[in-house]
Amino acid sequence: MGDSELYARVREEESASFRSAGGNAVRFVASLAAMVVVWARGPQLLAVWVPGVELSTWRQLVLFPLAVLGVGAFAAGAETVSDASQGLRARTIRRRVDRDPDRIAMLVPPLETHRATKQQVRGHGTVTVRRLLWIAVPVALFVGVLTAGVTVEEPDGTQRPAPELEPAVLGLAFLSAAALLVSVVLRLRRWSASRTVEKWSEDPAYSARISRIGPDPTWSRATEIPALTVKFTAPPRGQELLRQVSPQSNVIGAKPVRIAYLRLFDNRARAKEFLRGAWREFGYVHLLRSAASVSPEEVRKARRNNAFRTMFVASPRMLREELAKHSADPLPPGRRRLLGVTDLAVRVRDPAGSYPVRSLLCHVSFWQTAVDMLLSRVDYVVLDLAGYVPANAGTRFELQRVIDRFPIARVIFICDNQSDRAFLRAQVLHHWSRMDGRSPNSGAAARTARIAVTDGHRATTRYLMADLQGRHG
């Protein structure tokens, strides 16, 4: 399976797209020909067959079938272009692979659904538009129906809205506009803050002052790369929390673990689901913050104190100091809001308590080193591949780094039910084949990579509990 399956699917997509494009092209030409015949000869033939109706009337009557044929021709033409474009993309992928077979794992098959979850992620702009629609459209419909349904008749016979409705309509419109304005302003403030943080993080003057501590320049492929089995697993059923967390023991009575959570920054929906799960009840979750998670208050404070550069973790010393600031005391059971992790607060419920999340806002020139440092400090790594494509350079780096720096037995890859399993398997195997010579995974013994298929935090919770109970039970 794996690479060969992806290649076969690309070829099938190429053939199917061109076959469909040919069929739609025939429909397009046939529809155009029918339109010409109907317009040029249809009225005359109908006037001969039904002499009681004038020719001018028949010319008016054929406009409807002409419109239907026109819509059909447009649809067939659009599908022809779309199918041909899809076939050409698939052909381009296939030819690249034919020239360089090793690239197959890095090429996404066309028309796949493994990015479905990522496409559901809503940024600040999208949420603003949705709120506009959710508030403005119902209010407009309500006002329209109310105004049109209750009217009075003027002496001249005209209808107009009842005067007593005007205050209610104006008040409703004002309140709706005020609510909409507040919602949009709050979202725009978040968007402005994230853009400001991105600009500060990419400041070349600041980057020049930071010593370049990047990936090891002396990389060499491992001479002994063991066989790897990629295993997709579903969460078990019937798992329940056992006890309240404490500084000495987590929900299963074992020592709290340190967990690194790596994911696509753009996939904030999955990050929220992760944080709602039981990970925080088993140990301390470490993750890197994105610019979208920085609040306007944090930006305003940095500007006021002229500390926009110190807000970023930009050196090993700063990372150690930042981790030391975080409290180790567990949080009590209850509901709470997690701030500074995603673009908005994440509402969670912790029936057994939880451990604090340790989030780090790293400078763009340091985040790769931060990943390396976290991998050397944690007991467990969770890499979320939902929505991943090779164009996500950050996650691609993290995937390779996890294989190069961390024992695969203590790694859990997670995805959702919409993920393309063959594609993810090929990705993991591709990066495994490029393993660094100093990787703890090198050697002769076969290894297994686990990819947990989880949709929603409950499934993730059950999977994690079963896995950690197996390790510590």
| Whole-angstrom distance, CA of residue 398 vs CA of residue 263 | 9
pLDDT band at 372 (very low <50, low <70, confident <90, very high): very high
User: DSSP string of 438-467?
Assistant: T-TT-SSS-EEEEEEE--SHHHHHHHHHHH
101 Cβ contact partners less than 8 Å away, ≥ 6 residues apart:
none
**Is 151 a residue whose pLDDT tops 80?**
no
Neighbours of 167 (CB within 10 A): 9
pLDDT band at 130 (very low <50, low <70, confident <90, very high): low
Rounded to an integer, the average pLDDT of 344-359 is: 87
**Is 2 a residue whose pLDDT tops 80?**
no
| Region of poorest pLDDT, from 78-82, 120-124, 192-196, 320-324 | 120-124
**Is 342 a residue whose pLDDT tops 70?**
yes
| Cα angle 80-81-82, degrees, rounded to a multiple of 5 | 90
| Whole-angstrom distance, CA of residue 328 vs CA of residue 248 | 11
| Whole-angstrom distance, CA of residue 25 vs CA of residue 31 | 10
| Whole-angstrom distance, CA of residue 466 vs CA of residue 473 | 10
DSSP letter, residue 255: P
442 Cβ contact partners less than 8 Å away, ≥ 6 residues apart:
222, 223, 224, 225, 226, 435
* Residue spans per domain, the chain: 3-111, 124-152+159-209, 228-472
| Cα angle 457-460-465, degrees, rounded to a multiple of 5 | 125
CB 384 within 8 A of CB 414: yes
What is the pLDDT, as a whole number, of residue 292? 78
| Region of poorest pLDDT, from 104-118, 173-187, 387-401 | 104-118
In the three-class reduction of DSSP (H, G, I as helix; E, B as strand; rest coil), residue 349 is classed as: strand
Residue 241 structure tokens: 């929390």
CB 3 within 8 A of CB 426: yes
Most confident of 124-128, 157-161, 170-174: 170-174
Residue 116 structure tokens: 């479905």
Assessment of whether the complete model's pTM goes beyond 0.75 = no
**Is 464 a residue whose pLDDT tops 80?**
no
Rounded to an integer, the average pLDDT of 355-365 is: 89
Which of the two residues, 108 and 257, has the higher pLDDT score? Answer: 257
Which of the two residues, 168 and 391, has the higher pLDDT score? Answer: 391
360 Cβ contact partners less than 8 Å away, ≥ 6 residues apart:
286, 287, 288, 289, 313, 319, 322, 323, 370
**Is 159 a residue whose pLDDT tops 60?**
no
Which of the two residues, 238 and 369, has the higher pLDDT score? Answer: 369
Q: What pairs with residue 262 in β-bridges?
A: 383
Q: What is the pLDDT of residues 232-273, one digit of tens each?
A: 887 666 555 568 889 888 888 888 999 999 988 777 778 888
Which of the two residues, 159 and 396, has the higher pLDDT score? Answer: 396
Q: What is the pLDDT of residues 437-460, one digit of tens each?
A: 889 999 989 999 999 887 655 555
**Is 381 a residue whose pLDDT tops 90?**
yes
| Region of poorest pLDDT, from 83-92, 187-196, 207-216, 290-299 | 207-216
What is the pLDDT, as a whole number, of residue 199? 78
User: End-to-end CA distance of the chain, in Å?
Assistant: 35
Rounded to an integer, the average pLDDT of 90-114 is: 68
**Is 34 a residue whose pLDDT tops 60?**
yes
Most confident of 1-15, 83-97, 171-185: 83-97
* Dihedral (CA of 178, 182, 187, 192) sign: positive
Which of the two residues, 226 and 66, has the higher pLDDT score? Answer: 226
Average pLDDT, the chain: 77
Q: What count of residues does the chain have?
A: 473
CB 218 within 8 A of CB 445: no
**Is 320 a residue whose pLDDT tops 80?**
yes
What is the pLDDT, as a whole number, of residue 416? 81
What is the pLDDT, as a whole number, of residue 112? 45
User: DSSP string of 78-144?
Assistant: HHHHHHHHHHHHHHHHHHHHHH-GGGGGGSPPTT--TTHHHHT---HHHHHHHHHHHHHHHHHHHHH
Q: Which of 287, 277, 281 is nearest to 249 (CA)?
A: 281
Residue 413 structure tokens: 């890859």
| Region of poorest pLDDT, from 207-211, 346-350, 419-423 | 207-211
